[in-house]
Structure 1
Amino acid sequence: MKSLSSFLASVSLLALTFSLAFASDPSPVQDFCVGVNTPADGVFVNGKFCKDPKLATPEDFFFTGLDKPIPVTDPAGSAVKLVYAENLPGLNTLGLSFARADFAVNGYFPPHIHPRATEVLVVMEGTLSVGFVSSDDNGNRLFNKTLNKGDLIVLPMGLIHYAVNVGNVPAVALASLNSQNPGMITIANALGSIPPINPNVLATEQCRA
């Protein structure tokens, strides 16, 4: 009986390890699951109900407008248009999202992370300085490159990264992320949480840095 219990415990631990090791957006088990918001349309998957596949149309998989500049009104001098399952229903369950980012001269996108996605960023116009910082395990090393039109950089999942327009004209970048809901945590905003983090904790960390 004891050996059986040990065996079951080992199997449970192995299953947990396996599930954590491969944690990501789940692979679809159908051709597609066009996301809709009404339960009458089908099965609930990844936060959306699936449209009957026989009723799907090309429009469910089509998005236009990424060639259009986004008005930059943020004080940071950047603006983003996200393409994800909310505005492109055919992306539901496919583990992808996209974005266009516009940067005014001297504009920037502040240090942030995507907790559920790796990002691939391609510069379409202008010049960007883009970088990410490795984890504590790898010495908090900065990996930074100056990217011109046609250049691409990979920003690993969960690592702090940023982009700055270092050219003398507006810049445009396109990004692809391997999650339909990558999430975003802006570091400065997180440190100004509600309720606030104990200032003694933040002061201690600042002194250590």
Structure 2
Amino acid sequence: MGVFYFIVALLALASSVGFAYDPSPLQDFCVAINDTKTGVFVNGKFCKDPKLANADDFFFQGLGPGNTSNPLGSKVTPVTVNEILGLNTLGISLARVDFAPKGLNPPHTHPRGTEILVVLEGTLYVGFVSSNQDNNRLFTKVLNKGDVFVFPIGLIHFQLNVGYGEAIAIAGLSSQNPGVITIANAVFGSKPPISLEVLTKAFQVDKNVIDYLQKQFWYNNS
């Protein structure tokens, strides 16, 4: 059953590739390589000679459980062009997200991709926030096994395991390399730190609050 919903998610993304930010391919494939002497630069990667491509260029082995023993209680295992070189120019990728009980995939954005999430096991409380133009409306839903939810490109979103057991989800993304910006990490864990003057005025709090937050360890679950 989980495989069925996974395939549905991929098909849904495939139908929207024409609207993605990644360029539409003009050839069957453009397998990424790091050889700048023999490759052709396309969409952030160099491409190998198509005649040298093989099945391993389109293969990723073992999308198994991630280690959720961390402060967030979640682990994201991405499968992007960095893991499957054959994804180059194809405008699609995915990720597996594992959750411990009460685990959180914290508020974050994907600057280059829309996400469609399929719950394989467990119960997740998910949501996203619209832009300032739409008055920052919060859209939320509780998802159970087999449910699907979409997070529009670039918008802040999250997933929280509200069940009593572990949860698993598969996310399809409309980019070969959608990127991720975890909000708390970016704002309070930047290197070098954002100035206290900027953050105290932005959040309208005392500088001691900002100083405390900047001194915390901001865990990266991906």
Give TM-score scaled by structure 2 length: 0.78
| Separation in structure 1 between the aligned mates of residue 39 and residue 200 of structure 2, nearest angstrom | 52
The reply on whether 1:201 has 2:204 as its aligned counterpart is no
Residue type of the partner of 2:46?
F
Secondary structure in structure 1 of the residue aligned to 2:94? strand
Alpha-carbon shift at residue 23 of structure 1 (Å): 8.0
| Separation in structure 2 between the aligned mates of residue 70 and residue 197 of structure 1, nearest angstrom | 32
Alpha-carbon shift at residue 162 of structure 1 (Å): 0.5
Equivalent position to 2:71, from 72, 75, 94: 75
Identity %: 61
> Do the aligned partners of 2:20 and 2:113 also contact (CA within 8 Å) in 1?
no
Alpha-carbon shift at residue 130 of structure 1 (Å): 0.6
Alpha-carbon shift at residue 120 of structure 1 (Å): 0.6
Give the stretch that moved more between structures: 56-65 or 146-155: 56-65
The reply on whether 1:135 has 2:134 as its aligned counterpart is no
The reply on whether 1:50 has 2:16 as its aligned counterpart is no
Question: Superposition RMSD on alpha carbons, in Å?
Answer: 1.8
Residue type of the partner of 1:130?
V
Residue type of the partner of 1:27?
S
Residue in 2 that maps onto 1:38: 35
Q: Unaligned 5+ residue runs, structure 1?
A: 1-21
The change in CA–CA distance for 1:169 and 1:86 in structure 2 (over 3 A counts) is same
Secondary structure in structure 2 of the residue aligned to 1:39? coil
Segments of 4+ in structure 1 off by > 4 A?
A: none
Equivalent position to 2:91, from 92, 95, 101: 95
The change in CA–CA distance for 1:204 and 1:94 in structure 2 (over 3 A counts) is same
Equivalent position to 1:147, from 143, 150, 167: 143
The change in CA–CA distance for 1:169 and 1:23 in structure 2 (over 3 A counts) is closer
| Separation in structure 1 between the aligned mates of residue 116 and residue 47 of structure 2, nearest angstrom | 28
| Separation in structure 1 between the aligned mates of residue 60 and residue 179 of structure 2, nearest angstrom | 21
Q: Which one has a bigger Cα radius of gyration?
A: 1
Deviations 1:2-41 (A, max 9, x none): xxxxxxxxxxxxxxxxxxxx88111111111011222354
What is the aligned length? 186
Alpha-carbon shift at residue 207 of structure 1 (Å): 3.3
Residue type of the partner of 1:145?
K
Q: Unaligned 5+ residue runs, structure 2?
A: 1-18, 206-222
Alpha-carbon shift at residue 196 of structure 1 (Å): 2.5
> Do the aligned partners of 2:20 and 2:174 also contact (CA within 8 Å) in 1?
no
| Separation in structure 2 between the aligned mates of residue 139 and residue 113 of structure 1, nearest angstrom | 18
Alpha-carbon shift at residue 100 of structure 1 (Å): 0.3
Residue type of the partner of 2:43?
N
Deviations 1:154-189 (A, max 9, x none): 000111000100001100000011111111111111
Secondary structure in structure 2 of the residue aligned to 1:172? strand
Residue in 1 that maps onto 2:159: 163
Secondary structure in structure 1 of the residue aligned to 2:204? helix
| Separation in structure 1 between the aligned mates of residue 198 and residue 170 of structure 2, nearest angstrom | 37
| Separation in structure 2 between the aligned mates of residue 65 and residue 196 of structure 1, nearest angstrom | 37
Equivalent position to 1:61, from 58, 62, 78: 58
